[in-house]
Amino acid sequence: MSKFVLLCGLILSCALTSSARLNATAAGASGLNPSIQSAIIAAVEKDRKIYGGRTPVPGVLIGVWDGAGHSYIHGFGYADLKKKRPMSSDDHFRIGSNTKTFVVATILQLVDEGKLKLDDPISKFSLGIKVPNENTITVRQLCDMRSGLFEAFDTPQFDKMHLNPEMEFDPRTIVGWAAQQKPYFAPGKAYRYTNTNYLLLGLIIEKLTHDTVGDQIRKRLIVPFNLTHTSYPDTQAIPDPWARGYGLDKNRDWENVSGTIPVSLMGAAGEMISD
């Protein structure tokens, strides 16, 4: 499977609120300057073509909020190509790496509670897996993508995992794939975005709380902030309505790749759902 998968529901902005939920078809009444709306539409349509294949990116949902309280939410294309169902602000998405925001917020709460320090080396937590440079990589460097650890999702093992999307994986197994590879650089010497960092942060959360990372996010963030349309479900299922995910096949046509990667592979790096 290609590592480059364009989701049908490419979210350019994610609002973590249960109020002011606007239907994409009614977004024009938001009060945002019409000229700005036109510029946004033109920019998104341009990018749909740039990042598309023989046809544009199937669907996009964008949200824009300004300091004056104006908002603009607009759907482009389809949430489901087969059914020709238009993209809507009611659609649920696997929000992918927006999950990382929740993970780091949980880490920072644990710092406030005195359960760890950002400059603690990750070896302190005895995570049950040997990681290169674990005595010098800090929690802060994981958060900042400066650990130098190899990208677990770029390993040969990961590429084979879509063959059975129902498989369950321990994050230690996935981090172990990355640990077999040479680090990109010494800790703190550069920046490189890797999902490995946040899989490790998830393990640290679980170690310190004796709870799952999903339950900690629910208890600390989802429930207290009334994020009723946001979840960490630990399952392949996504609530209806939901935007399908699409990738380009060898002919540069869009194919539905929804549910082809085990959700447990994403974990603390990208498992959450929202609308």
Going 210 to 132 to 96 to 169, the CA torsion angle's sign is negative
Q: Could you give the CA distance from residue 111 to residue 4 in angstroms, rounded to a whole number?
A: 35
State the chain's maximal CA–CA distance in angstroms. 55
Residue 110 identity (one-letter amino acid): L
Residue 261 identity? I
Beta-carbon-side half-sphere exposure of residue 230 (alpha carbons within 13 Å): 26
Helical packing angle, 99-112 and 195-209, nearest 10°: 40
With beta carbons less than 8 A apart as the criterion, state whether 168 and 262 touch.
yes
User: Does the active-site annotation cover 97?
Assistant: yes
Catalytic residue among 2, 88, 97, 147: 97
Sign of CA dihedral 73, 76, 81, 84: positive
Whole-number Cα distances in Å, 176 to 38, 127, 206: 48, 11, 17
Q: In what order do the strands lie in the sheet with 6-7?
A: 6-7, 245-248, 254-256
Give the residue numbers marked as catalytic.
Answer: 97
